[in-house]
Structure 1
Amino acid sequence: MEKLNKLIELRKELHKYPEVSGNEIETGKRIKSFLKNYPPDKLISDLGSTGFAAIYKGKNPGKTVLFRCELDALPIEEINIFEHRSINKGVSHKCGHDGHTTILCGLATELYKNKPETGSVILLFQPAEEDGSGAEKVFSDPNFKVLQSDYVFALHNLPGYLINQIVVKNDTFTCAVNSLIIHLEGKTAHAGEPEKGKNPTLAIAEIITEFNTLIQADISQENFCLITPIYIKMGTKAYGVSAGAGEIHYTVRSDSNLQMQAIEIALENLAQSTASKHNLKCETSWIQNFKANSNNDKAVEIVRKVAKMNHFELLEKEKPFTWGEDFGLFTQNYPGAMFGLGSGLDTPALHNPDYDFPDDIIATGVAMFYQISKEITNAY
């Protein structure tokens, strides 16, 4: 009970002092300070800039399993009024990364007390998940490349699901998500002589219309494709001027990394051909890329086994979640799985200003991760 109280205290401290993607310096210091009481055999700092890894080793060689959490918060103003509410204006933990991180710290307390019999357990504290850059930064770090793992695991809390319920799914768990920026360059003109310029209005309207024809919004069907307009800009509030430039931003979702590649090419070609038709220059770029989490069958079976061993309620998810999570880059490169941890039917939705991670699910997350580590490191 005392150990759980310390974890809850840590979670609330992390919640009170949130930092956005790439700025998780003080967050990292707080976690490392906590880990000094449960020192790992090796600590690798500055992974992907502000990330780090704590490694707990067994006495003998064996399999290595990696567990990952996220350090960053969101640029959302918190409206909660409890004591541990965010003190950083415009920034708050509205996705539960404070809780995910605390669960990994709870795993550290178990591993320090009971080292793996064989092999190693890596606890990866990853930066910048929210903007999709963190996993890539960690992967490209030379110090991470030496940490080869046999399996990788992560969890995500799920508002709207029974508290402490374990949610599993084979194959795609979360969708591939990528964001597209289309910049159209024409020529300004006097609003009374628009024919002397190149106004992007009709091209923007045509792109929006054509993109809509590619949407297949039913995730239960093949070729799921969601194309959501996010932001449009054209011209200025100068009523005597016919606009000469415009910009459209989209978020694109697919339940397959391979399908996402095909969608990206189709959208780029469509934007370019439409711009050419209207005598406009067109530049396209992609940002905030999230690979689909492709769960490995054997890894998911381990999650199922551990949930049943702990007598946790298990829910088999039929369809992927449509949100993105950059742990997909890990499941592309290693056998592994992301699973869900129910955080309550009445808990506010993720990314909402009144959300707060429920401390009641910390112990469940720790128990799941610790038993998964035993299943893998103790396997011969």
Structure 2
Amino acid sequence: MAGKDADYADVVEWRRDIHAHPELQFEVHRTAALVAAKLTEFGCDEVVAGIGKTGVVGIIHGQKRTSGKVIALRADMDALPIEEETGAAWTSTTKGVMHACGHDGHTAMLLGSARELAQTREFNGTAVVVFQPAEEGGGGGKAMLDDGLMDRFGIDEIYAMHTEPALAIGQFATTIGPFGASVDSFKIRIDGKGAHGAEPQDGIDPLVVGANILLALQTIVSRNVHPRQCAVVTVGWLNAGKAGNVIPQFAEMGGTTRTFDPIVRNLIEARVFAIAEKVAEAYGAKATVSYKRMFPPLVNHALETAFAVRTARLLVGDGNVNDTVEPVMGSEDFAFMLETRPGNMMQIGNGGGAGLHEAAFDFNDDAIPFGIAYFKNVVEARLPF
């Protein structure tokens, strides 16, 4: 495992530089340029930029290539629209933007692994390092797929890591099957009839209609989804009117849905439409639903996850790897990649502190040697020399 030497200090420097210069969604131009420059410096056989708009791919051939296999490692590069409150010396220099989800650490660790793999090349096949933009809601993973990521580079399997504050430094966690939820969003507009607040009989109150739709949506999980399935339907906002003595003409609400099962996902979407439209109709109003499918469930493949667990256990010991961790209702657009190729998403310990997407979160640099070693070992173990 990489120790805390000069190489480690380099990776920390890269991580903190990326942290200090966060970028959103697909606008990761500085970060992508840094990544491409480092991969070229390391001697990668090929460096390709502009995959999925601003994604970067590096190709590293092993000393032998007779296996014909290609293993990919993926990291995400984008930050979040949050004002940083860490107080770190490397705090964000961009107002209202920060790395609150560890993507700075993911990128730095994969760069560290790429450097070591390019130096040693003690594997039989090809390693592909994938640096993705726009994980935070932008669908950057899908954009890279749409640009031919898997077929263009002949990828057979793909592996990723995500930092986890609830795990100690040197610990890993994953599970076979569903690991992250799908995420969809919806918006409902209720058109009623405006009236004076003192004469409600002359109007059709869209707020009353909206309130009843909101409550009815909460029956989807409790009365339509099987009790052994997991699902969430959340209404996050409801807007209407500006004056207390006026019944407004319309109201709008929006929310999110989450599940691990494609069948349940279809059911929820259908029920959102049916409930909104029929409840509104019962009150003489009209509901218009806009429903957007964003990310599918993240589902780890069985054989590749078992391999990832063995690799992590050889690195840190059996007691430091949980292979049956509970799935999370959060989403991760690595799910798109796992729909097209077998692979695994692994959590790596961040050693406590603030939670993900919090203004006080900072990636723990003590995790870097473990992440570098894990990524490197995945390639070397999957492509034995």
Deviation readout 1:118-154 (Å, 9 max, x if unpaired): 3221111111111142122112124654233211111
TM superposition shift of 1:181: 1.5
Match of 1:48 in 2: 52
Unaligned ranges ≥5, structure 1: none
Q: Do the aligned partners of 2:61 and 2:126 also contact (CA within 8 Å) in 1?
A: yes
Q: Does 1:28 align with 2:32?
A: yes
Alpha-carbon distance change, 147 to 184 in structure 1, aligned in 2, over 3 angstroms: farther
Q: Does 1:319 align with 2:326?
A: yes
Please report how far the alpha carbon of residue 192 of structure 1 lies from its aligned counterpart in structure 2 after TM superposition. 3.8
Q: Which residue of 1 aligns with 2:91?
A: 85
DSSP 3-state at the match of 2:373: helix
For the residue of structure 2 that corresponds to 1:310, the secondary structure is helix
Contact persistence 1:47–1:144 (CA under 8 A): no
Moved more, 25-34 or 363-372: 25-34
2:158 maps to 1:141? no
Q: Does 1:209 align with 2:209?
A: no
Look up the equivalent residue of 1:137 and give its one-letter code.
A
Q: Quick check: 1:159 aligned with 2:165?
A: yes
1:282 aligned residue: 287
Q: Which residue of 2 aligns with 1:232?
A: 238
**Bigger shift: 105-114 or 5-14?**
105-114
Q: Provide the rounded CA distance (Å) in 2 between the counterparts of 1:332 and 1:363.
A: 29
Cα shift readout 1:246-280 (whole Å, capped 9, x = no counterpart): 11111211122332222122222211222222333
Structure 1 position 308, deviation (Å): 2.0
How many Å apart are 1:187 and its aligned residue?
3.3
CA contact (8 A) 1:132 1:290 kept: no
Match of 2:304 among 299, 303, 308: 299
Please state how far the C-alpha of 1:220 moved relative to its aligned partner.
Answer: 12
Per-residue deviation at 1:163? 1.5
SS in 1 for 2:236: strand
Distance 2:292 2:20 in 1: 29
2:258 corresponds to 1:253: yes
User: Which residue matches 1:110?
Assistant: 116
Report the equivalent of 1:334.
Answer: 341
C-alpha deviations, 1:98-135, integer Å up to 9, x for none?
A: 00011110111112112254322111111111114212
Distance in 2 separating the partners of 1:188 and 1:352:
41
Larger CA deviation: 353-362 vs 29-38:
29-38
Preserved contact between residue 66 and residue 122 of structure 1 (Cα < 8 Å)? yes
Q: Does 1:12 align with 2:19?
A: no
For 1:60, what is the secondary structure of its paired residue?
coil
Secondary structure of 1:37's aligned partner: helix
4+ runs deviating over 6 angstroms: none
Where structure 2 has 5 or more consecutive residues not aligned to the other structure, the ranges are none
Structure 1 residues 320 and 67, CA, compared in 2 at 3 Å: closer, same or farther? same
**Which residue in the other structure is 1:181 paired with?**
187
| Amino acid across the alignment from 2:93 | I
Shift of 1:337: 0.8
- Classify 1:115/1:286 alpha carbon distance in 2 versus 1 (closer, same or farther; 3 Å): farther
1:349-364 aligned within 5 A: 349-364=355-370
Cα RMSD of the aligned pairs, angstroms, is 2.2
Equivalent residue runs for 1:52-131 within 5 Å: 52-58=56-62, 59-61=64-66, 62-115=68-121, 117-131=123-137
C-alpha separation in 2, matches of 1:188 and 1:98: 50
Paired residues, number: 376
Query: 1:129 & 1:41 partners in 2: Cα distance?
Result: 26
| TM-score calculated relative to the size of structure 2 | 0.92
Note the C-alpha offset of 1:321: 1.3
Query: Are 1:94 and 1:355, in contact at CA under 8 Å, matched by a contact in 2?
Result: yes
- Indicate conservation of the 8 Å contact 1:72/1:129, yes or no: yes
- Alpha-carbon distance in structure 2 between the residues aligned to 1:220 and 1:107: 43
Matches within 5 A, 1:186-197: 186-197=192-203
Q: Take 2:72 and 2:227, find their aligned partners in 1: how far apart are those partners?
A: 33
- Distance, in Å, in 2 between the alignment partners of 1:288 and 1:348 is 30
